[in-house]
């Protein structure tokens, strides 16, 4: 799809990091868009574990956003963790529901390693109500929604990871 007119994007969240990432990705992808955040439920634990739960949360958010404005591009973003190769990684799944072609586009952020001690503590408290980011913040006083910046000494933020994956997703939209 050629984005020659102003697009409307409804994001199934009110998270500042996620809204900022969508706006930045639009700039990088040369998309002129109005971006709106909208409260949406993931219907998952506060800390999703594994790809399936994370995808389900992202899709649920995108679907609720789509129902708020059926003519807009609807986006759901859900962050989760997975254990692969002996390492706990944080990642996000992005689901984009394109209204014209009715395509569903999926992208993922690059994985970002989380120290196992924080994952284990969050798990002991319970993933239903506790994120690994909130545990990291408890110990370090970092932003619980962006422990990436703290853990990487400011080299990588949650918004950076999301922006890169969103640019990839927007590239797939432009090809439709």
Paired tokens of 65? 């956003």
79: CB partners within 8 A, 6+ apart: 48, 54, 90, 91, 92, 158
The full set of domains in the chain, from first to last, is 7-111+156-174 (3.90.950.10)
Largest CA distance in the chain: 50
pTM of the model: 0.94
- d(CA 57, CA 94) in angstroms, rounded, equals 10
β-strand partners of 93:
78, 108
* Of 134, 70, 126, nearest in space to 97 by CA: 70
pLDDT band, very low/low/confident/very high, at 2 (cuts 50, 70, 90): very low
- The CB density around residue 108, as the number of other CB atoms within 10 Å, is 18
The string of pLDDT tens digits covering residues 70-121 is 999 999 999 999 999 999 999 999 999 999 889 999 999 999 999 999 999 9
Contact indicator for 75, 7 with CB cutoff of 8 Å: no
């Amino acid at each position: 799809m050629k984005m020659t007119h102003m697009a409307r994007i409804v994001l199934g969240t009110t998270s500042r990091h996620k809204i900022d990432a969508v706006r930045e990705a639009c700039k990088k992808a040369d998309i002129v868009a109005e971006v709106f955040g909208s409260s949406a439920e993931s219907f998952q634990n506060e800390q999703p574990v594994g790809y399936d739960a994370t995808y389900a949360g992202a899709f649920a958010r995108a679907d609720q956003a789509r129902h708020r404005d059926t003519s807009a591009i609807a986006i759901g973003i859900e962050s989760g963790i997975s254990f692969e190769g002996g390492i706990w990684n944080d990642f996000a799944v992005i689901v984009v529901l394109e209204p014209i072609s009715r395509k569903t586009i999926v992208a993922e952020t690059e994985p970002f390693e989380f120290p196992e001690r924080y994952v284990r503590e969050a798990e002991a408290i319970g993933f239903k109500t506790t994120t690994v980011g909130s545990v990291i913040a408890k110990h370090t006083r970092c932003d619980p929604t962006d422990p990436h910046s703290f853990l990487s000494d400011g080299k990588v933020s949650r918004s950076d990871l999301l922006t890169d994956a969103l640019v990839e997703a927007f590239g797939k939209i432009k090809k439709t």
